[in-house]
Structure 1
Amino acid sequence: MCASYSAPSARGRGAARLAAAALASGLAVAAVLATAGPAAADGRPQSQGGATAVMGGLKTYGAAVLHDETGNHQISAGLFEMAVDGGGMLQTYCVDIHNPTQKDAKYQETPWSGTSLGANKNAGRIRWILGHSYPQVNDLAALAAKAGVKNLTEQDAAAGTQVAIWRYSDGARVDAVDSRAEKLADYLQHSARDEAEPSASLSLDPPAVSGRPGGRLGPVTVRTGASSVTVSPPADAGGVRIVGKDGKPVTTAKNGTRLYFDIPKTPTGTTDATDSAESTDGTPRTPDAAAGSAELTVLASTTVPVGRAFTSDSRSQTQILAGSSESTVSATAVATWGEHGPIPALSAEKNCAKGTLDIRVTNKGDQPYTFDLMGTAHSVPAGATRTIAIPLQEDQPYDFTLVGPDGRAQRFTGVLDCKTQGAAIGTRTQTLDTPAPAPTPVTAGNVPTTPDLAATGGSDTTPLIAAIGLSLLVLGATALSILHKKRTTQD
């Protein structure tokens, strides 16, 4: 599998210390960054747009040997498959050899900047490999000829491609067991050239806008490779409509289309002829509240570009796209409005190059927008835009909520997972489909010819879970002992 053996690390030792603290206090500790506002319960995580999918498992693979400071270890290397929400299938390779892949993990299409690829100078070479090998090149005879071998099976092609990717994604010393797969890996590694990061399958730019009612807020620009997208208007938004630059309602769009939120003007006092709440095209609309928010969603069916990264907040290893069927993709944007006070538009994205979560705030109001995060007060002046970098530790989960003037909560959740071999998990992996022993140590003259099956690995939460379980057993035993002594005294 693409998640292999990994040596004990500082992260694993840290988890053990956390587990020991939980055992000593009898409490389970969650390392979550949280800042909740009064409407936090209403907040939903913000999506970056694109495809979302569920990990199915390792489907086409061969054997490889990983060489590290603890020895040589057999692993499996090849193609994973994921089922896209709404329809479609993805084929991926992994770019994180030391972390396990969790079966049924939820994945989200992610820019390279939000993964280890963002700080990897060889990320462009990985994209070249994807475009010049299996499954993008499905003529195995032609691929074999380029690699200088006579025949390649699908398993050889998948294993050789994965090994070449690992050499660039993780800087790993890894070899394919099959000689043909190894020659393919060498050919791909030495032939690779830099290629640019592919564009998102579907996104809205920016994902948040704000302003005052009685006009159009935006624009929000559609970015997609699909021929067309469906525009879903806000639900129960009190007359808010999605329109084009001409003010007419929009139900479909294409790449480059600019969309606007048409926000009704709230009548003040008695409604008269000038407060009839007519839209720009003369059709009546329902007055809305003075402050509020609305959300639009765009949907499309398209192939996701090869080279797009996919990440999971469940700490399942990062994947990179090798092939896509026609798949359902989506993106969401939010508009916030108010008559007075701060009117913020909020969005966030991971920045792996700096180890931060970058929160972008645009304040279209007439007062500063202030909030407290991680014990630090922040203020964005009226009419200004600021990007606030929140420093996070590797693998640190975050979950916090910022609240707008209407009480709407914008929630940001995730895990900063930016490193590969520097953040190895201190447990060995097992199989995705069936339990299996740890990867087999490989010695000279003892190279295995058959691969271990792909493995769903443990994580550094395993010691924590074990410690919490032990803590509960100790507490239970103590309670039974006290009860027994009490009954003995009474007798």
Structure 2
Amino acid sequence: MFSAVHGPTARKRGALRLATATAVTGLVAAGAIAGAGTSFADDKPAASSSGVHATLVSPFVKVGAKVDIDDHGKPSSTTGGLFELKVDNAGVIKTYCIDLNHHTVGNATYKEVTWAESSLAGPAKAEAAGKINWILKHSYPSVVPAELSKDIKGQALTDATAAAATQAAIWTLSDDVKATPQDAAAQALTKYLLDNATKEEEPKASLGFDKDAVSGRPGSQVGPLTVQTNAKKVALGIAPGAAAGVQLTDVNGKVITSAVNGTQVYFKVPKGTADGSAKVTASAQTTVPVGRAFVSDGEIQSQTFILASTSVVPVTAVATAKWADQGAAPAVSVKKDCVKGGLDVSVSNKGTKDFDVVVLGKKLTVPANSSQTVFVPVAEDAKYDFTIADQHFSGVLDCKTAGTGTPTPSSKPSPASAGGTSTGGSSTGTNGGTNLAETGSSSSTPMIAGAAVVLVLLGGGAVFFLRKKKTAGN
């Protein structure tokens, strides 16, 4: 919905966001590195990288029209409609906003996630999320304007007004606001969609694994990792750098090079192999289903989208196997939990000795051949960046929307002051001026300092690390 930040205001807000992110990240990273001892090589394998990855090349609405917003008595107006994401090594996919009060940022990178990892998370949002999925399948661009006109007694719709009507209906459900297109026919379509929408199930992932990592001992099958995909067939391979003799197998020990949904993948590690790790890569060409959520993935935070049209695109997933002959053999998986507001950190230890875990100052012990999951709170909009057991995890917790009752930080715009355009040109709000309204002091210094202090206090809950017991073999 909202356009990118430009000009002096943009630089001020960019500095603010950088300062707050850096403050929180510094604490998280320092805590992680300070206590992360391990016998594995310090190659810092990345967390699981699953599904579709894309870039928001243009921060402006591609097709849309003006929509009036009533956010619990706070009126505003902005452009509502379709955005386009450029898929890595492929074409574009069309999306709608489900995150009203966050702005869009040009060149922000995105990844496909579950509803539980987005602003649609939780039982309270389940009905709205399911109805949004229905709307996406029964409105523009899945259905052309001429056909949609029949649903509203022949009133004329264009691509732009149909897109605005669809976005207004989605915002009403995703952000708990009253969104009304300014065009009369679009108003009728929005009403039709809201009156007829029924709850539909969340679409399946395009491609992923159930865990980021698994662990075990040489001379055994390390795993399993379960493939989750809507593709008919997935190609599997071991990334370069793995130890000689390491192979991918099924549960019966048969070497495999492909998989389907539900396939359990193991690493066969020959006895005597030195302690180490390997990565499995999965790839496919598949249709990403309408209704999949996309969140910003990287240093730049940008609003959350939902897929509006299907497209056959390349998808990939990566996960890690680790092994050790003696001592603890930890493997860590991290998932966002937008219901509780933080991260679920799962630690599996398939080694011969216990593995000590320190979370928020509380010491936990993961015994050999067992696993534990702990929840770590992270402040909304705070960046996390940490390494535990030589696995690196980073991101931004972006779970809340305009209608949650949570105060909007000054580094974000209001709908009245930032609107996209259907032409891709420069954007101004209803009151004119730059893309984002000035909401703080004319000097950036107190804004940066104040926001940094707040996020450090809130994000302090994210400081955690894993620490391995000191043993004679380490």
Shorter-chain TM range is: 0.7 to 0.9
Tell whether the 8 Å contact from 1:18 to 1:464 is kept in structure 2 after alignment. Answer: no
1:232 CA drift (Å): 1.9
1:254 is aligned to 2:243 = no
Aligned counterpart, 2:95: 92
Letter of the 1:249 counterpart = V
Aligned counterpart, 1:293: 277
Q: Which has the larger radius of gyration?
A: 1
1:183 CA drift (Å): 0.8
The superposition leaves residues 39-91 of structure 1 with CA deviations (integer Å, 9 ceiling, x where unpaired) of 89732441351101001332111111112467532200001111111213211
1:398 is aligned to 2:398 = no
Tell whether the 8 Å contact from 1:148 to 1:183 is kept in structure 2 after alignment. Answer: no
SS in structure 2 of the partner of residue 46 of structure 1: coil
Letter of the 2:207 counterpart = L
Distance 1:349 1:470 in 2: 29
After superposition, residues 45-84 of structure 1 pair within 5 angstroms as 45-57=46-58, 58-68=61-71, 71-84=74-87
SS in structure 1 of the partner of residue 209 of structure 2: strand
Aligned counterpart, 1:283: none
Letter of the 1:143 counterpart = L
Distance 1:69 1:204 in 2: 41
The superposition leaves residues 244-282 of structure 1 with CA deviations (integer Å, 9 ceiling, x where unpaired) of 33433322222232221110110xxxxxxxxxxxxxxxx
* Distance verdict in 2 for CA 1:379–1:307, change over 3 Å: same
Letter of the 1:417 counterpart = D
SS in structure 2 of the partner of residue 131 of structure 1: helix
Q: Structure 2 unaligned runs (5+)?
A: 6-11, 450-474
SS in structure 2 of the partner of residue 118 of structure 1: coil
SS in structure 2 of the partner of residue 399 of structure 1: strand
Identity of aligned residues (%): 40
Residue from 304, 313, 323 that aligns with 1:327: 313
* Distance verdict in 2 for CA 1:18–1:201, change over 3 Å: closer
1:367 is aligned to 2:360 = no
1:220 is aligned to 2:225 = yes
Distance 2:211 2:242 in 1: 20
Q: Structure 1 unaligned runs (5+)?
A: 6-11, 23-27, 267-287, 404-408, 442-451, 472-491
Residue from 190, 198, 203 that aligns with 2:195: 190
SS in structure 1 of the partner of residue 308 of structure 2: strand
Aligned counterpart, 2:430: 440
Letter of the 1:330 counterpart = T
Tell whether the 8 Å contact from 1:292 to 1:338 is kept in structure 2 after alignment. Answer: yes
1:463 CA drift (Å): 7.4
Letter of the 2:394 counterpart = T
Distance 2:230 2:448 in 1: 52
Distance 2:352 2:91 in 1: 46
Tell whether the 8 Å contact from 1:82 to 1:89 is kept in structure 2 after alignment. Answer: yes
Tell whether the 8 Å contact from 2:120 to 2:174 is kept in structure 1 after alignment. Answer: yes
Residue from 442, 445, 449 that aligns with 1:467: 445
What TM-score do you get using the length of structure 2 for normalisation? 0.80
SS in structure 1 of the partner of residue 204 of structure 2: coil
What TM-score do you get using the length of structure 1 for normalisation? 0.77
1:374 CA drift (Å): 3.8
* Distance verdict in 2 for CA 1:155–1:434, change over 3 Å: closer
Tell whether the 8 Å contact from 1:88 to 1:324 is kept in structure 2 after alignment. Answer: no
Aligned counterpart, 1:137: 143
1:312 is aligned to 2:301 = no
* Distance verdict in 2 for CA 1:204–1:98, change over 3 Å: same
After superposition, residues 12-161 of structure 1 pair within 5 angstroms as 30-32=23-25, 33-34=28-29, 35-36=32-33, 37=36, 42-57=43-58, 58-68=61-71, 71-119=74-122, 120-121=125-126, 122-138=128-144, 140-161=145-166
Letter of the 1:440 counterpart = T
Letter of the 1:51 counterpart = V
Tell whether the 8 Å contact from 2:16 to 2:448 is kept in structure 1 after alignment. Answer: no
Distance 1:436 1:163 in 2: 19
The superposition leaves residues 122-146 of structure 1 with CA deviations (integer Å, 9 ceiling, x where unpaired) of 11111111111111123x2221111
Residue from 416, 423, 436 that aligns with 2:397: 416
Letter of the 2:345 counterpart = I
1:164 CA drift (Å): 0.0
Tell whether the 8 Å contact from 2:209 to 2:317 is kept in structure 1 after alignment. Answer: yes
Residue from 393, 396, 418 that aligns with 1:429: 418
Q: Number of aligned pairs? A: 416
SS in structure 1 of the partner of residue 265 of structure 2: strand
- When structure 1 is superposed on structure 2, of 370-379 and 295-304 the one drifting more is 370-379
Letter of the 2:24 counterpart = A
Letter of the 2:263 counterpart = T
1:430 CA drift (Å): 6.1
* Distance verdict in 2 for CA 1:328–1:347, change over 3 Å: same
SS in structure 1 of the partner of residue 214 of structure 2: strand
Aligned counterpart, 1:386: 372
Aligned counterpart, 2:327: 341
